[in-house]
Structure 1
Amino acid sequence: MPRHHSYSLSDEKVAELVFRQYGVKITPEQIAKAYAPEQRMSWKKSIEVARFITGMTLKQAKAWLEDVVKLKRPIPIKTYKKKQAHHAAPWRGWPVAKWPVKVARRYLQLLENLENNAKFKGLDADRVVIVYAAAHKGYRIPNIMPRAFGRATRFDEQTVNVEIVAAELPKEVIPKRYKLNLVKR
C-alpha cells in the first residue's frame, strides 16, 4: 500500500528553479506535477532516465522514451556505469548507454499523467517543459529465495518513488529540440 507522500519541491522553489534556469518568472498556476509511488523498477536506471528527461518538453520526452521502448534510442548512463558495456555508438560524450524498457514504460505512464494534469490546469501542452524529475528509493518488499540443502537467502525487491514537475514557459525559452552530439559517419 502506498504511503503518504509529499512533493519534494514547493511551488515557490519550482518558480525559483525556473527563474534560475530560464530567466522567466512563473506563477503556481503554470506548474504541473505528477507522482508515482512505489514503482517496482530499477532505482539506478530511474535516476538516469530522470536526469536525461529534465529540460525536455513533454513531447520530446515522450518521443524519446517511446523510442527507448522500441529499442531505437538509448538512455545515457552517467553515474552507475562500472563494469557496463561501452558502445561504439554514433553519439559523443557518453559511451555507456542502456535501453531500460521497463523504466521507460513507467515513465511514459507518468508523463501521460503529467500531461493530463497540465491540461486540467489549462496549460498548453506544447509549451510545458520538464523542469525537475527525481527518483527516490521506496520501501523494500521482503522476499526469500530458496537455496540448495534447505537454506534460504533474503532477496528483497526495491521500489522507487518517481516525481516529475513541469512548467509552462513562453515560446522564446522552450528548447527547440534536444541536442545530442551526434557524429556523422
Structure 2
Amino acid sequence: RGSRKGAAQMCMSCHGTGMQVRMHQLVPGMVQQVSTVCHSCQGQGQRISHKDRCKSCVGRKIMRQKKVLEVHIDKGMRDGQKIVFHGEGDQEPGIEPGDIIIVLDQREHSTFTRKGEDLVMSIELQLVEALCGFKKPVQTMDNRTLLITSNPGELIKPGDTKCVVNEGMPMYRRPFEKGRLIINFT
C-alpha cells in the first residue's frame, strides 16, 4: 500500500469499524464477548498519523465553534411561531447538519392583551365620567398617546366596549395594516 501525506488510513486495530470486539473467558466453556470503542482511532475507523493531523481539530474532523445567528422578528409575528435556520445545527462528517429552530414566546403586557391582531385593554371610569363624558389618555405600545373620549350625555355602562381602528398589532407580512384597539369599560 502506498500512503499519501495527510491521507487517512484504515485503522488496523478495529479493521475500520471503529469498534473493538474482545472475547473474555469467564470459566472453561463459557466466554463473554465485549464490544468497546476502538482506542486507536476513537471510533472513527481511520487513523491519521500524528505528524499529518490538523492542528485545530487534532484529527477528530470536528471543531467547536461559536456562531452568532441574527434573528429578525417581523412585526405581527405570533406567540409560538417558529423561525428556522436550515443546516445551522451540529455538524459531523458524513451526517447532514440539523436545523436550529427558534420558537417565539410572547411576554404578557401590563396594560394590553393580544387577541390575534387586536389589542384589548380595560379602562376604569368613575360614575361622573360614565354619565357626563370623559377624556382619558392611553399610552400605546409604540410610545404614542391616544386620547379616548366620550361626549357629554353619552352613557357608558359597565361592560361597554369602544374600538379604535388601526391601533392594534401590525398584521404579519402586512406591517402597515393594523388590528383594532378594543377598550372595555368598568
TM-score range, shorter chain: under 0.3
Q: TM-score, normalised by structure 2?
A: 0.18
Question: Counting helix residues as a fraction of each chain, which structure ranks higher?
Answer: 1
Greater relative contact order, per chain length (Cα 8 Å cut-off, separation 6+): 1
Which structure's CA Rg is the greater one? 2
Q: TM-score, normalised by structure 1?
A: 0.18
Question: Counting strand residues as a fraction of each chain, which structure ranks higher?
Answer: 2
